[in-house]
């Protein structure tokens, strides 16, 4: 029963926030998100200590269809994603304490609802419920991105919405198709998996693309990525965090949870194509990141490159690669969250996203610079930061895959790491070092609330970098 609260608490808190006066809503949002984090931690404790409490819940929902409200936190990947979602929102809300958005009731209400939707996606064990949350998570984010952000936000967000909506509708058709093949007409994950094993391979081959397109758009994988740099750039940075730290993980998560087990033959059959697209994405996005002058676009492209590598590693069909992906999904979420918070600080202080107008802040804002350097290094997977272990395992999986082109893929993907170092270090240089300019001379160092958030992020980065076995244990037993 506790697990349902992970969805219900943010949802109800979001509804309540919309009706609240602006002055109190911020504290309310922080309180609700911290409560969700506590609930998530309890569920995490239950998961790691079997027998302490229930982490599954199931209740018949639409009995005529065989759909049930069935949620469970029964594997490492789900735990990681739920914890990431539970952790990200309080951090975002605390970092906003000195940058309160307009119309805060609407803003925090929609943010909390987005959290509820994301939780639902990660927890759902029923295909129809999964689809429902998949769409429901999108609606608040659509409104948030359209209401807060840059001047081109409305058309850009709409493009994002249409892309994902088309993808998910096609996924729905394939889910209905699989559902019709289940012997007792059930939407449960287990019945989908057992049907998936028995579907003939020619059907799996087209079903694969109907589902994969939806997930590929969300991740996004080349060539479905065109919505992403624009959307990241134009959305207000707190919303960008939700998009890039959490929503894109929905795509990866769905591939691991709903695509590989349900369409196993199809996934094997198209393995090379998907890996090829992912690797092209890694290289392409890395080169694009090199030439960006807008810091938000740079991070957006770096995100495409990272996600591309994760997608390729999933399709290596190797256990170690998958475990690496699960670990990296969590760590990438933490790192990119930290980066975006730093970006929001820059935006707030300097009122620009253009890196040519930045520089020299290392002299006057040492704390900010330390955080920037550390989080950036984690983003390029330096050893002893959290990014390293996952990336190492993913490359290991990629290199051991059954694909005949595995060597080429691994080598070319390795190029992505080098390029990542180039553009990330370049970014640090442009933002923090060089001569102090007139525009940056009054740059204030971190405020208290920003300190708290970044200390937590940096602590996680170093802790998991030194001692990754916390994560390893989670994904080791069962993915």
Partner 1 sequence: MSAIVISALLGVVMMLSGLILKKSTQVQWIAVLGAVLLLAASIFDHQLVVSKGTQSYYGMLELNSYTAWFNVLISFCVMMYILIFRKSIATVGRSDAEYFALIFFVMCGVYLLSTYSNLLILFIGIEVLSIPQYIMAGSDKESLKSNEASLKYFLLGSFSTGILLMGITLLYGATGSFDILSSKFADQFVQVSSLSSLSFIGIILLIVSFGFKASSAPFHLWTPDVYDGTPTAFTPFMATIAKVSIFLAFIRLFHFSFGNVSEAWQFTIAIMIILTLLLGNVTAVYQQSVKRMMAYSSIAQAGFMLFAIFSFNATSWQGIMLYSVTYTLASIGVFAVIIKMKDYTYEGFNGLAKKEPVLALTATICLLSLAGIPLTGGFFAKYFVLSATVEQGKMIWLVVFAVLMAAISAYYYFRVIMSMYFKQGDAEVSIETTSLEKALLIINAAIIILLGILPGLIIL
Q: Which is nearer to partner 1, 50 or 183 (CB)?
A: 183
Residue from 154, 427, 442 nearest 295 by CA: 427
Q: Is 477 in the site for partner 1 (CB under 8 A)?
A: no
Q: Which is nearer to partner 1, 61 or 451 (CB)?
A: 61
Q: Interface residues for partner 1 in 327-366 (CB under 8 A)?
A: none
Q: Is 472 in the site for partner 1 (CB under 8 A)?
A: no
Residues in the chain: 479
Q: Is 203 in the site for partner 1 (CB under 8 A)?
A: no
Q: Is 154 in the site for partner 1 (CB under 8 A)?
A: yes
Min CB(1)–partner 1 separation in Å = 19
DSSP class of residue 65 equals: G
Residue from 288, 313, 447, 449 nearest 381 by CA: 313
Among 169, 367, 470, 477, binds partner 1 (CB under 8 A): 169
Q: Is 136 in the site for partner 1 (CB under 8 A)?
A: yes
Q: Which is nearer to partner 1, 210 or 314 (CB)?
A: 210
Tell me, by CB under 8 A, how many residues bind partner 1: 27
Between CA 247 and CA 134 the distance in angstroms is: 10
Q: Is 189 in the site for partner 1 (CB under 8 A)?
A: no
**Which residue matches tokens 């759909």?**
67
Among 177, 392, 433, 451, binds partner 1 (CB under 8 A): 177
Among 173, 408, 418, 477, binds partner 1 (CB under 8 A): 173
Q: Is 319 in the site for partner 1 (CB under 8 A)?
A: no
Candidate ranges 156-164, 331-339, 390-398, 465-473; the one touching partner 1 (CB under 8 A): 156-164
DSSP class of residue 59 equals: E
Residue 380, classed as helix, strand or coil, is coil
| Token pair for 7 | 């969805």
Q: Which is nearer to partner 1, 61 or 392 (CB)?
A: 61
Between CA 449 and CA 455 the distance in angstroms is: 10
Candidate ranges 33-41, 135-143, 224-232, 430-438; the one touching partner 1 (CB under 8 A): 135-143
The sign one gets for the Cα dihedral 55, 58, 59, 62 is positive
Q: Is 139 in the site for partner 1 (CB under 8 A)?
A: yes
Q: Is 170 in the site for partner 1 (CB under 8 A)?
A: yes
Among 74, 135, 347, 445, binds partner 1 (CB under 8 A): 135
Q: Is 479 in the site for partner 1 (CB under 8 A)?
A: no
CB atoms within 10 A of CB 148: 20
Q: Is 132 in the site for partner 1 (CB under 8 A)?
A: yes
Greatest pairwise CA separation for the chain in angstroms? 71
Q: Is 15 in the site for partner 1 (CB under 8 A)?
A: no
Q: Where are the alpha helices (DSSP H) in 96-188?
A: 104-123, 127-136, 138-147, 153-181
Q: Are 386 and 335 in contact (CB under 8 A)?
A: yes
CA dihedral 414, 418, 419, 422 (to 10 degrees): 170
CB atoms within 10 A of CB 451: 14
Q: Is 373 in the site for partner 1 (CB under 8 A)?
A: no
Q: Are 417 and 391 in contact (CB under 8 A)?
A: yes
Between CA 25 and CA 422 the distance in angstroms is: 42
Q: Is 180 in the site for partner 1 (CB under 8 A)?
A: yes
Q: Which is nearer to partner 1, 46 or 187 (CB)?
A: 187
Among 19, 49, 51, 64, binds partner 1 (CB under 8 A): 64
Min CB(62)–partner 1 separation in Å = 5
Residue from 397, 396, 376 nearest 387 by CA: 376
Among 131, 212, 232, 368, binds partner 1 (CB under 8 A): 131
Q: Are 76 and 477 in contact (CB under 8 A)?
A: yes
| Token pair for 71 | 């949620």
Candidate ranges 174-182, 234-242, 258-266, 431-439; the one touching partner 1 (CB under 8 A): 174-182
Q: Which residues bind partner 1 (CB under 8 A)?
A: 61-64, 131-132, 135-136, 139, 143, 146-147, 154, 158, 161-162, 165-166, 169-170, 172-173, 176-177, 179-180, 210
């Amino acid at each position: 029963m506790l697990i349902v609260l992970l969805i219900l608490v943010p949802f109800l808190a979001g509804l309540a926030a919309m009706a609240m006066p602006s002055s109190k809503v911020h504290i309310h949002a922080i309180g609700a998100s911290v409560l969700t984090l506590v609930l998530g931690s309890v569920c995490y404790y239950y998961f790691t200590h079997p027998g302490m409490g229930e982490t599954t819940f199931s209740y018949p929902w639409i009995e005529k269809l065989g759909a049930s409200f069935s949620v469970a936190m029964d594997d490492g990947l789900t735990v990681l994603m739920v914890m990431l979602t539970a952790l990200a929102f309080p951090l975002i809300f605390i970092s906003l304490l000195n940058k309160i958005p307009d119309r805060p009731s609407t803003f925090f209400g929609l943010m909390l609802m987005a959290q509820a939707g994301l939780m639902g996606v990660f927890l759902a064990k029923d295909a129809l419920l999964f689809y429902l949350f998949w769409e429901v998570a999108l609606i608040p984010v659509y409104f948030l991105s359209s209401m807060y952000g840059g001047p081109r936000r409305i058309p850009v967000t709409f493009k994002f919405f249409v892309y994902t909506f088309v993808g998910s509708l096609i996924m729905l058709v394939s889910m209905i198709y699989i559902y019709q093949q289940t012997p007792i007409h059930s939407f449960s994950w287990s019945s989908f998996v057992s049907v998936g094993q028995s579907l003939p391979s020619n059907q799996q081959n087209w079903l694969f693309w109907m589902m994969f397109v939806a997930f590929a758009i969300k991740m996004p994988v080349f060539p479905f990525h065109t919505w992403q740099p624009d959307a990241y750039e134009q959305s207000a940075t707190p919303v960008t965090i939700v998009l890039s730290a959490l929503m894109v993980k929905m795509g990866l998560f769905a591939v691991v949870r709903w695509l590989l087990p349900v369409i196993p033959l199809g996934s094997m059959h198209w393995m090379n194509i998907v890996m090829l697209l992912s690797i092209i994405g890694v290289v392409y996005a890395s080169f694009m990141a090199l030439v960006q002058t807008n810091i938000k676009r740079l991070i957006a492209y770096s995100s495409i490159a990272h996600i591309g590598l994760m997608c390729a590693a999933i399709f290596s069909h190797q256990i170690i690669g998958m475990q690496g992906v699960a670990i990296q999904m969590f760590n990438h979420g933490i790192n990119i969250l930290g980066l975006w918070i730093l970006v929001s600080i820059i935006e707030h202080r300097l009122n620009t996203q253009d890196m040519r107008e930045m520089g020299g802040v290392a002299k006057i804002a040492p704390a900010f610079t330390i955080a920037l350097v550390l989080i950036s290094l984690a983003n390029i997977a330096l050893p002893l930061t959290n990014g390293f272990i996952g990336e190492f395992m993913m490359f290991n999986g990629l290199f051991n895959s059954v694909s005949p082109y595995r060597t080429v893929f691994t080598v070319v993907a390795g190029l992505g790491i080098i390029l990542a170092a180039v553009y990330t270090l370049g970014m640090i240089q442009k933002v923090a070092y060089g001569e102090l300019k007139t525009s940056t001379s009054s740059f204030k160092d971190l405020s208290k609330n920003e300190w708290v958030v970044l200390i937590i992020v940096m602590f996680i980065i170093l802790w998991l970098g030194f001692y990754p076995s916390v994560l390893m244990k989670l994904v080791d037993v069962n993915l």
